[in-house]
A and B are shown apart, each in its own frame.
Chain A
Amino acid sequence: MLETPVLCKRIPTWPWGDPADRAYVDYDAFVDTGGYVALKQALDMEPKQVIDAVKSSELRGRGGAGFPAGLKWSFLPPEDGQRRYLAVNADESEPGTFKDRLLLDFDPHQMLEGIAITMHACRLDTTYIYIRGEYHAQAKATQRAIEEAYANGIFGKNSKLGKINDRWPECVLHRGAGAYICGEETGLLESLEGKRGWPRVKPPFPAVAGAFGRPTVINNVETLAMVPPIIEHGAEWFKSMGKGRPDGAPPSVPASFGPKLYGVSGHVNRPDVFEDDLGIPMSTLINEHCAGMRNGKAYKAAIPGGISMGVLGPDEMDAELDFDIGKKHNCLGLGTAGVIVMDEDTDMVMVARNIARFFAHESCGQCTPCREGTGWMYKILLRIEQGGGTTKDLDLLLELAGSMGAMPGTTICGLADGANWAVRTILNKFWDEFASRVSVDRSVSLPVVGAGH
């Protein structure tokens, strides 16, 4: 268990504080409690040293994919005097995920400090914070923090950062308008350019040709907020938290270091965002952090990190929530660590139908397997839920789900992989429940030629 909160230092959170006491931390309060010290330290370092510090901390992206942040930064080409961008992913739309919101609502300066350090390290002159359109209050809080940061010389003319690419550093809040796919990094860039949020075919990767065709770093809010404490306390401090590398694995294997924000929702007594080491068992999260299951019910299933990740079954309550969870528990991964807990009364057909509906609605429509597949999976699951399904439908669902995604290689982006894993793992782990809801298929396939004689 984490001894002292890191990202929740100023945000009262169980067990260190009472969530009822949460309030916006303004620039002065932030500075009084040690804020912007790390930025000062970073500005005394060469940009490359900052990148190396983040690299050696092995900080992995907190937006869902877990890609090492320092490594991503090192893919940038050399400077050429033209613009280079930082795009901050504050689109947080994955069902079950509400952790970035906590930082944006109450302590956005942590993210802004991380942004400033990243701009210095990667020589990025302009930042766009892409925040989802439905985050009205969060956009206000973030805008307020940005204005405070400008007023105190973090961004803008005469910024502490000095000129980058011969420009004063700028930080702009950009509001989305209700489209999950804009959380996918290249969908985000298209949307930022004023277009529909259609993910791009990669390569080229954003580090080389991102926003407006220029080199661009894209990071999640929580990832960036983690950068200042790493600069201030060092990589070793960061690596003293979390799960570390699997036993016996060589240093090249990515590990699960550091603290993590977990958002827990569903059938628990105390749903909220909690901060703890990466790799704590889900049962600890449910029984201690969330004070147990609601109404004394028994645990049945959980989504480990947003609905794209698939499901954990009745015997997987002790699953360790780290970046290796996918391999160990046959799910897609840790995702956003937005845990959705379900009790014994939950209808898993309903869960699958709800998730399929989400993906059918949010598919951007570029790739046929995703556009058509998600729509048909939803219709089939609705039919099963309403009692009209047959055993054939279950096989069809598995075939459909398994064929879509960037990993099977049939689609442009990972939305379809999310639909794939969600439907497939729910079906596989709760097969009997689905089987009990369908009737045996009695239709007989007749040969077409000569049929009817």
Chain B
Amino acid sequence: MEQRDLPWIMKNSAGTQIERRDEPYFDAALRDELEADLMPKYPNRRAATLPVLHAVQNKVGYLPYQAIEEIAAFLETTPAEVLDTASFYDQYMTEPQGKYTLWVCHSLSCELMGQPDLLGRIQKKLGVGPGETTDDGKFTLRTAECLGSCGTAPCALVNDVLHETIDTDTFLRSLDDLN
């Protein structure tokens, strides 16, 4: 962002242009599908915000601001309201993500059962910390709160696949097999 003559204003929200492209992210095919299958399940359109965000993020990989505007138009609400909701939840991303997101649980049962070693060695292998993406765009590392797999700790989600009772060596090797 360009620096203006008011250095204490960190974020020039009013003047910021969002990136746009001609082709919509939330295309007609997906809109028609959701209109037919999803919208009849809810008494008002805004209630479909979470499932629509999931559907668009699944397709695009993240939620660009242009997509947020398109979703708002579809839900007949404002982009501010959609972004307000999207920014509240850990799973929605407004920035591009790695091809694989590793969610390493660091809640109590997992920390007791070896999560610090697991996370430390993943960081060392990938050269990134939680919240960061590798330079080749392959992996984004994240920490997660309890994944409901406490009896089979430590655990991590790789995208939507849950790995349980993780042995660090085996897990690190399995990352090499992903392409």
Contacts and interface: CB of A to CB of B under 8 A. Distances in A.
A361 B48 CA distance: 26
Contacts of B103: 134
A265 interface: yes
Contact of A176 (B47, B50, B145, B153): B50
Interface stretch (B2-10, B23-31, B86-94, B169-177): B86-94
A346 B44 contact: no
A27 interface: no
Contact of A303 (B75, B85, B108): B108
Given A177-B92, A178-B89, A96 B150 contact: yes
B149 A98 contact: yes
Contacts of B90: 177-179
B43 interface: yes
Contacts of A175: 50-51, 54
Interface in A110-158: 132-137
A300 to B, nearest CB: 11
A266 interface: yes
Interface string B146-166: 111111110001001110000
A346 B113 CA distance: 11
Interface residues of B, number: 43
A135 B144 CA distance: 13
A64 interface: no
Interface in B83-111: 84-85, 88-92, 103, 106-109, 111
A335 interface: no
B49 interface: yes
A99 B153 CA distance: 15
Contact of B145 (A177, A191, A192, A358): A358
A199 interface: no
A340 B110 CA distance: 10
B112 interface: yes
Given A93-B146, A136-B162, A197 B151 contact: no
Contacts of A342: 112
Contacts of B122: none
A358 B161 CA distance: 23
A52 interface: no
Contact of A350 (B47, B111, B150): B111
A66 interface: no
Contact of B147 (A134, A264, A346): A134
Contacts of A362: 145
B111 A273 contact: no
Contact of A354 (B48, B51, B108, B147): B108
Nearest to A362: B145
Contacts of B54: 133, 175, 177
A351 interface: yes
B20 interface: no
Contacts of A172: 41-42
B28 to A, nearest CB: 22
A77 to B, nearest CB: 18
B85 A271 contact: no
Interface in A298-351: 303, 307, 338, 340, 342, 346, 350-351
Nearest to B53: A177
Contacts of A137: 162
B91 A177 contact: yes
A274 B78 CA distance: 47
Contacts of B91: 133-134, 177-178
A337 to B, nearest CB: 12
B111 to A, nearest CB: 5
The 10 closest A-B pairs by CB, nearest first: A194-B49, A178-B90, A177-B89, A196-B88, A265-B150, A136-B160, A95-B146, A95-B107, A178-B91, A265-B109
23 contacts: A96-B107, A98-B148, A98-B150, A132-B148, A134-B144, A136-B157, A172-B42, A175-B50, A178-B89, A178-B91, A179-B89, A193-B46, A194-B50, A195-B84, A195-B85, A271-B150, A271-B152, A272-B151, A303-B108, A351-B112, A354-B108, A355-B108, A358-B107
Interface of A: 83, 92-98, 101, 132-137, 170, 172, 174-180, 191-197, 212, 263-267, 271-273, 303, 307, 338, 340, 342, 346, 350-351, 354-355, 358, 361-362
Given A93-B148, A97-B148, A354-B108, 11 more contacts: A93-B145, A95-B108, A98-B151, A134-B91, A134-B147, A179-B90, A194-B46, A266-B113, A340-B150, A354-B107, A358-B107
